[in-house]
């Protein structure tokens, strides 16, 4: 399930990219599954089709999806691509956690933040 927050700090195309990446990595989108058409996604969220196209282009560049002209976009069947997305996310999280600890953020604060994020993601997204 994708959730777009217009009042958030993150550009809409990045939110789409992260949301679809998460669905692919979690296995919620099956290999070779057809993604909704760009216009369909744009209409669903009330956004410009160019925004959706930009997100799809980034997903394709990352190897998470592939496109067939006049047919649409599909989830890549390369399991290692989804694993690479997870590994990169873990590396980024580790870096951020090390910076937080260096800045004096305590373990309990980190755990509380992690619980908050997990709860928000289960409820449909964040305010970034």
φ, ψ dihedrals at 73, nearest 5°: -110, 145
Tokens linked to 94: 């580790």
Over the Cα atoms of the chain, what is R_g? 16
pLDDT of residue 122: 76
Taking the domains of the chain in order of start, what are their residue ranges? Answer: 12-122
pLDDT in tens, 9-53: 889 999 999 899 888 878 888 899 999 999 999 999 999 999 999
Take residue 11 and report the two structure tokens written for it: 């550009």
Q: Are strands 72-75 and 65-68 parallel, antiparallel or unpaired?
A: antiparallel
In this model, does residue 110 exceed pLDDT 80?
yes
Phi and psi, residue 104, nearest 5°? 95, 10
Q: CB within 8 A of 23, min separation 6: which ones? A: 2, 29
**Fold of the domain spanning 12-122:** Arc Repressor Mutant, subunit A (1.10.10)
Query: How confident is the model over 77-92, as pLDDT tens digits?
Result: 877 676 777 777 888 8
The reported pTM is 0.66
């Amino acid at each position: 399930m994708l959730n777009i927050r217009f009042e958030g700090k993150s550009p809409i195309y990045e939110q789409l990219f992260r949301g679809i990446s998460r669905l692919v990595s979690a296995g919620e989108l099956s290999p070779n599954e057809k993604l909704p058409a760009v216009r369909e996604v744009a209409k669903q969220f009330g956004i410009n089709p160019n925004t959706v196209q930009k997100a799809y282009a980034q997903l394709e560049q990352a190897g998470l999806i592939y496109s067939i002209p006049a047919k649409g976009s599909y989830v890549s069947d390369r399991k290692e691509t989804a694993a690479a997305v997870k590994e990169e996310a873990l590396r980024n999280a580790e870096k951020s956690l090390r910076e937080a600890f260096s800045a004096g953020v305590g373990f309990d604060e980190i755990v509380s933040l992690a619980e908050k994020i997990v709860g928000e993601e289960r409820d449909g997204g964040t305010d970034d």
